[in-house]
Amino acid sequence: GLELNEDGTPSNASVTTRFNILVIDLNDNVPEFNSSEYVVSITELAQVGFALPLFIQAQDKDEGTNSMFEINLVGNNSNHFIISPTSVQGKADIRVRVAVPLDFEVLSHYEFSLFANETASDHVGFATVRIDLINENDNRPIFSQLLYNVSLFENATVGMTVLSVS
């Protein structure tokens, strides 16, 4: 309370006390990616293990175990790529690598969802990953048959069509 002097005016007397305030981290931050969408084009000849130039960073601003989360790549054919790390505490750069030989002629475009989730079910971060393959001249010309066996009369004349191949 306010100290009063005898005449009723506020006294200048003061009291000093020391407090230790302990701030406890609440798990109030959701893991987040540093972009909502990551897009890249890579050659279809990219080797297994090739790290795509996608600069993905994921972060949960909480402290300690409150900042732990998991990363998942979800979508059709997402097994063609592998992400690491899949378990993060705090902040991490996420790498996406080629997991199987790719082929533009089979599949030229991928679209995935990237999730960062905590045990708290509503703490989910989300981003889109789009990968386009660049077609390379990787197909050698081939003949329709391995062997063409043609019989001719011996009176065949110059310029006569013997065989057409594709």
Ligand X SMILES: *[C@@H]1O[C@H](CO)[C@@H](O)[C@H](O)[C@H]1NC(C)=O
**Nearest Cα residue to 41 out of 124, 134, 126:** 134
Nearer Cβ to ligand X (43/108)? 108
Handedness of CA 44, 47, 53, 55 (dihedral sign): positive
Nearer Cβ to ligand X (15/22)? 15
The least CB distance from residue 47 to ligand X, in Å, is: 20
The answer to whether the beta carbons of residues 139 and 105 sit under 8 Å apart is yes
Name the β-bridge partners of 91. 59
Our measurement of the distance from residue 101's CA atom to the centroid of its chain's CA atoms, rounded to an integer in Å, reads: 18
Cα angle vertex 87, ends 113, 54, to 5°? 45
Tokens of 19: 């407090």
The least CB distance from residue 22 to ligand X, in Å, is: 27
Nearer Cβ to ligand X (22/146)? 146
The least CB distance from residue 85 to ligand X, in Å, is: 13
Binding site residues, ligand X, CB under 6 A: 5, 11-12, 34-35, 55, 57, 70, 72, 76-77, 93, 107, 117-119, 149, 151, 153, 155, 157
Tokens of 10: 């506020």
Nearer Cβ to ligand X (57/84)? 57
The answer to whether the beta carbons of residues 118 and 60 sit under 8 Å apart is yes
Nearer Cβ to ligand X (46/60)? 60
Cis before 101? omega within 30: no
